[in-house]
Amino acid sequence: MPPGILERLRDAPALRAVAGEPGVWLVGGAVRDLLLGREPRELDLVVEGDALDVARRAAERAGGELTVHQRFGTATVEAGDLVFDLASARRERYPGPGALPEVEPGATIAEDLARRDFTVNAIAVAVADGRVEAVPHARDDLEAGLLRVLHDRSFTDDPTRLLRLARYAARLGFTAEPHTAALAEQADMAGISGDRMGAELRLLLEEPQPAALQALARYAPRLLPGLHADPDRILAALAAAPDDARRDLLALAAAWRPDDAMLEALGFTAADRRILAAAARAPELRAALDRATAPSAVRRVLRREPVEAAVLAGGEKAARWIAEWRHARPAITGSDLLAAGLEGPAVGAGLEAAAEAQLDGRAPERESQLAVALDAARRLPPRG
């Protein structure tokens, strides 16, 4: 361990709370990031022994509350803004491909590290004295920028590691070492549930793009059938995205066009599925935009579509809609039309006509918009 690595965290509240406790180790991504000179996202602490006893004493020192997860041998300490987890060192056994692991506490730190996903995440530092424990190849792989599984059944035991491989490749700028890459390409996805894969996929979408989707297409080409992570297309979509666009879904939609059943199986919400389905219609929307001869016609094409679909449709008309036209509002409101004697569908038809006339420059001010709205209402067919 290079000098000063653990010292960077000496003032971390989580480490102060466990100071003096034997058998406490900082593990995983935090150690990896510290060795790479990065700021850790979070601190993971593993206890050789009873993590719950250590957590109780840590909560007392921090003046916080303790939540115990007895089944998993873990506990969460919360004290104001301070929140951290402690877990007992454990062994894991997978009863079948893709199944959740059976957990056995009472392990050594070496046994705990051996159950992890990649060598670079299987390094631990003793909080008490800075002693380092690591699996074979871990330090060399970290220096070489390589992602290596710990054993040949890694992706069979837990296929979600395929998505983590892509996530870490994008985040860290690492590549899979050749044997790991070969194992990934041959991995069988049959044992993984849709919900678990979907949860990992959504985490992957939060990583740097297009690198994460490119890594997924490279290392796990069978995971998302039809995934085509064209970096230019993804970068162009993200560059055109307004602040209110869902950049994660936009990146995915630029690379993949799944059906709704697939998205539902992956646990995407109805709102997210609507965005992705609309984005998949981008070629049809672009064709309709090409036929549009006025801003009002562009409005008819795009006003009910998510902004992500407009981004992927592309072109000057979509760009004007995103930046300008979609924000335009007529000076009149429904109250004005009610006061003028309109009711029911006539109010909506009048507002729609006023909005279109405003966009086309035919009714730039309130009086002309009101006139357009009243005329549109008069031309509605009689009700009933």
Residue 191, Cβ density class (10 Å: 0-12 exposed, 13-18 middle, ≥19 buried): middle
Whether residue 289 is found in the same domain as residue 299:
yes
Whether residue 8 is found in the same domain as residue 92:
yes
Q: Does some domain include residue 275?
A: yes
pLDDT at 12: 80
Q: Does some domain include residue 30?
A: yes
pLDDT at 20: 87
Q: Look at the block and give the residue holding tokens 């109010």.
A: 347
- Of the candidates 345, 319, 348, the one whose C-alpha atom is nearest the C-alpha of residue 333 is 348
Q: Look at the block and give the residue holding tokens 């796990």.
A: 220
- What are the percentages of helix, strand and coil residues in the chain, rounded to 5? 50, 10, 35
One-letter amino acid for residue 131 of the chain: R
Q: Are 239 and 213 in contact (CB under 8 A)?
A: no
Work out whether strand 146-147 and strand 74-79 pair parallel, antiparallel, or are unpaired. unpaired
Q: For position 155, which CATH number holds?
A: 1.10.110.30
Q: Does some domain include residue 213?
A: yes
Q: What's the CA gap between 379 and 371, in Å, rounded?
A: 13
Structural domain span for residue 191: 146-227
Q: What are 91's two structure tokens?
A: 């062994």
pTM: 0.87
Q: Does some domain include residue 384?
A: no
Whether residue 185 is found in the same domain as residue 302:
no
Whether residue 134 is found in the same domain as residue 167:
no
Looking at the structure of the chain, the number of domains it has is 4
Whether residue 41 is found in the same domain as residue 154:
no
Sheet holding 123-126, edge to edge: 65-69, 74-79, 82-88, 44-47, 24-27, 123-126, 132-134
Whether residue 3 is found in the same domain as residue 111:
yes
Which of residues 109, 144, 179 is at a domain's end? 144
Q: What's the CA gap between 340 and 345, in Å, rounded?
A: 14
Whether residue 96 is found in the same domain as residue 2:
yes
Q: What's the CA gap between 101 and 346, in Å, rounded?
A: 62
Whether residue 28 is found in the same domain as residue 150:
no
Whether residue 49 is found in the same domain as residue 102:
yes
Q: Are 346 and 324 in contact (CB under 8 A)?
A: no
DSSP state of 279: H
Q: Does some domain include residue 97?
A: yes
Q: For position 65, which CATH number holds?
A: 3.30.460.10
pLDDT at 19: 85
pLDDT at 141: 98
Whether residue 338 is found in the same domain as residue 281:
no
Spans of the chain below 70 pLDDT: 1-6, 10-11, 97-99, 384
pLDDT at 316: 97
Whether residue 54 is found in the same domain as residue 110:
yes
pLDDT at 98: 62
Largest distance between two CA atoms of the chain: 85
pLDDT at 1: 44
Q: Does some domain include residue 383?
A: no
Rounded to 5 degrees, φ, ψ at 241 are -70, 130
Q: Are 65 and 125 in contact (CB under 8 A)?
A: no
Q: Does some domain include residue 51?
A: yes
Q: What are 22's two structure tokens?
A: 């034997």
Which of residues 144, 165, 195 is at a domain's end? 144
Whether residue 307 is found in the same domain as residue 346:
no
Which of residues 173, 201, 227 is at a domain's end? 227
